[in-house]
Structure 1
Amino acid sequence: MADDTRKSPSDGDEKPRYRTNANIMPGGMANTAGGTPADFTLADAVKTIKLEEYKDFTKKPCVRDGLLTGIGSGFALGGLTAILRRPVWSVCNYSVGGFVAMSLGGYQYCQYYRTLERTGMKRITEVMEQKKAEIAARREAKRLKEEADRLAEEKRREEERRKTWKYWAEKNLKIW
């Protein structure tokens, strides 16, 4: 407890001491007021990825298509530079560069068309829901019309029945 207490300037020549840097956000790793950032290397980032994620990398959508496109284009570009009698390192660089560029391009191309397909499917489902609602409304209107027609027909039959002698006799001539 004595470590984190401050000494007042009047106690001596010592300046107040703090246990932690006051510019670091609580619970965070970033120094928000400037200064040196926390040490975090590429190796630390790679360690956070699990082995299962490396194994299932090609099962993600569009990754396989992008990689196959990159392999083919890297082979073609490397072969073309080899045919043009470039140095071996240059051929390797062109091959790897073609692989990387076309893999990323193929992946982005596939993702773009997946997005278009997804928005198209959303639109189709919206249109289908609208059509279902329209059909249900038509069915309900038809049912209401048939019900009104049925009631009108029953009313018409009742009026015809009341005009007959039998109705008058049943209503007015009671013997017992």
Structure 2
Amino acid sequence: MANKNLKSLQPLQSTQYSYMVNPVYGWGTIIFVWMASMLPWRSWEGSPDLLILILAFWCAHEVKGVGLLAAFCFGFFMDVHDMNILGEHALTYVLVIYGTLTIRKRMMRFGVISQLIHMFPVFFLAPIPSRLMQAWFAGVWPGWVWVWSGVITGVLWLAADLILKLPLRPVEDDDATI
């Protein structure tokens, strides 16, 4: 009898939605945030990296062309702009996008809070190799303030979900039921 009751349970939301994103809209937001990242607020200790947040968000939502190559190019642009060691941001951006690609199919089955929990380790662990490289070249450890950047970037996943999905309408996804 208990087995029959379990089989009759239906999910709260029987229809899963995916958001069809126009690549022009996705890339427009990426370019807008890239231009905003050129402002001096990014040089403050612990400031979130909005560009990698938006790249990871659109990579998770499968916008055409947002992937490892785009992450490397934008990371390289940020290295040139910040006059850092070439490849420091590029390495971090590629690792974040690789982590996002690795967990994307699983992560997108959950709500935004669970997506945030999935992305926290990615935003926290991806900068470690570049910080080690920076410490090795400089000969001194840069401190632990950079950890706040990963935490704040992870929390901003909620804001990105709210703001970037505003103009989008859900489309019933037949493949999501498989």
Q: TM-score band, normalised by the shorter chain?
A: under 0.3
Higher relative contact order (CA 8 A, sep 6+): 2
TM-score normalised over the length of structure 2: 0.26
TM-score normalised over the length of structure 1: 0.27
Structure number with bigger Rg = 1
